[in-house]
Structure 1
Amino acid sequence: MTNIGAVNRENNYQTTCYRRQGNQLLSPESCQVTMEFEHPENGLNWKIVTRSGQVHHYRNLGTGIQLWSHLSHQWVNVKQTDWFPEQEGILCWDDFCADWRELPLD
């Protein structure tokens, strides 16, 4: 398990990502998650890059999860963070989901 107290430590993981549409997970594809614990500006910081090249960059400063908007060049609040129903270990942020079973959560 990863040491959460490690300063500026990056950890890379391979997993599967999905698009959420209602109660379905669509378009599974391989993705790489890079997590950085105790980032000096972003707290818990993670970037997910899908095989098709989409980048989802998130942070959690303790006041909610935010997503970096490449269009407006600013952090925007994620409206919904939840575990996908009846799919163990699939964590979703709005309509984007990733298999989080092999990634550290504690």
Structure 2
Amino acid sequence: MAGGYEADLNALAAHEPEVREVAEKVHQAIDATGAAQGLGDMNAFGIVGQVVALGVEYWISSATSFVKALGDAGHDVADKVKTTHEALSTHEENSKAKLTAIGKDLQA
């Protein structure tokens, strides 16, 4: 415990796959949305509707890029959670080993 904060290593380890799963679902949703777009279809919007369709297509493309970036950020967060868990686990093991060694030296 440092500065009033305590890291629960098991809980931290459990969050990495959860965050990664959410990020993957965001990517799947984006892929499904992109596959469903029929904005350039003349039968769907007609000639006059193409003007509106182009604006909507640009808006969807921008929104898709933004949400895809969120999914990418989710994977980045998952990587950082994993790295943090590994670093804290290593630190804890090293601290235990050093304290055990100090205890043995004091008893000798």
TM-score (norm 2): 0.17
Rg larger in 1 or in 2? 2
TM-score (norm 1): 0.18
Q: Which has the higher helix share?
A: 2
Q: Which has the higher strand share?
A: 1
